Structure 1
Amino acid sequence: MAGTSIEIRDGLTPTLERLVSVSDNPAAIMSDVAAYLLTSTQQRFEQEIGPDGQKWKPLKPRTAAQRIGKGRVKRGSEHILVRTGRLKNSLTAASDAVSATVGTNVEYAAIHQFGGVIRQTARSQTLSLKRIRGSKQVRFVRAGAKGAVEREVTIGARQIVMPARPYLGINDADRAEIATIIMTDFGKAVE
């Protein structure tokens, strides 16, 4: 299963690496760093920004107009990458004595992080339609619904271009906080 993650292993300054290596409990320090990275990544979902501080590309109007949930509330242009919350809620942190990692195993995580093209092949599908009472319009319904008419349709091939909306990464503020965590944890160990 595809996913994506970011790992701090050799990205620390030599001084910080030395502090971690001479610590009595480097795994505890890296655990604190991993916990911070997880919180920082979750906050990016709330703010809808990448590690570089740039706002994520807005949803396309068609996507924003989709109806979601049982109450059939319109999605709107907010809540990018959190339609169901699966991606955000799947984020996990891991660490050992020499590394701290935050990531997800959700199969569509990488396309949102890096962007890309989704290619859908042409296909045939059966649709269940029902006429809206008092109108000539029809709507999609579940197969076998009362009054539904099934129709076989062919859907052509298409490409969907997904913009990159990076949520994993480390910026200067993260580096400063990681340094503070390491120095604080090292200071506690020395006391």
Structure 2
Amino acid sequence: VGSIARPSWQGAVREIGPDHALVGTNVPYAAAHQFGATIHREASPTTVRLRKWKGRIEFAKAKHKRVRVVDTIRKAHTVTIPARPFIGVSPKDIEDMLGTITRHLQEALKP
């Protein structure tokens, strides 16, 4: 399991230089979160396990004993995942960086 928040940063920071840091992640679904995605699923055969519970029919877990197994066709459908960027520099980040640089320059230029 990897992410940008790993304590060791192994797999997150790809390259560090005097004026840059290249950051990424090894999580396979990261691009869908960063940029958004549209996933098209074709119709396909599937088997579902159903049980009756309190007068309702619901999906049954493997541990449930009295189930009805039904072969069915899963309908074709599309899922749209909106972009939720987690890598990048926001206007607030730039403001914070400029503040830090300004403070360091003011300290360095003090008589």
Task: With the length of structure 2 as denominator, give the TM-score of the two structures.
Answer: 0.68
- Residue 17 (structure 2) pairs with residue 97 (structure 1): yes
Instruction: Assess if the C-alpha contact under 8 Å between 1:122 and 1:157 holds in 2.
Output: yes
Question: 1:160, 1:102 → 2: CA distance?
Answer: 28
Query: Secondary structure at the residue paired with 2:88?
Result: coil
1:151–1:144 CA distance, 2 compared to 1 (3 A) = farther
Query: Secondary structure at the residue paired with 1:131?
Result: strand
Query: Secondary structure at the residue paired with 1:174?
Result: helix
Structure 2: give runs of 5+ residues left out of the alignment.
none
1:104–1:182 CA distance, 2 compared to 1 (3 A) = farther
- Residue 39 (structure 2) pairs with residue 126 (structure 1): no
Distance apart, 1:151 and its partner CA: 0.6
Instruction: Assess if the C-alpha contact under 8 Å between 1:115 and 1:165 holds in 2.
Output: yes
Q: In the alignment, which residue of structure 2 is the partner of 1:145?
A: 64
Percentage of pairs with the same residue = 32
Instruction: Assess if the C-alpha contact under 8 Å between 1:130 and 1:138 holds in 2.
Output: yes
Structure 1 runs of 4+ aligned residues shifted over 6 Å read none
Structure having the higher Rg: 2
Distance apart, 1:157 and its partner CA: 1.2
- Residue 75 (structure 2) pairs with residue 162 (structure 1): no
Structure 1: give runs of 5+ residues left out of the alignment.
1-85
Instruction: Assess if the C-alpha contact under 8 Å between 1:143 and 1:150 holds in 2.
Output: no
Question: 2:94, 2:74 → 1: CA distance?
Answer: 48
Distance apart, 1:166 and its partner CA: 1.8
Higher helix proportion (structure 1 or 2): 1
Equivalenced residues, count: 97
Task: With the length of structure 1 as denominator, give the TM-score of the two structures.
Answer: 0.43
Higher strand proportion (structure 1 or 2): 2
- 2:86 corresponds to which letter in structure 1? Y
- With a CA cutoff of 8 Å and minimum separation of 6, indicate the structure with the bigger relative contact order: 1
Query: Secondary structure at the residue paired with 1:110?
Result: helix
Q: What is the root-mean-square deviation of aligned Cα atoms in Å?
A: 2.8
Instruction: Assess if the C-alpha contact under 8 Å between 1:118 and 1:161 holds in 2.
Output: yes
Question: 1:117, 1:154 → 2: CA distance?
Answer: 22
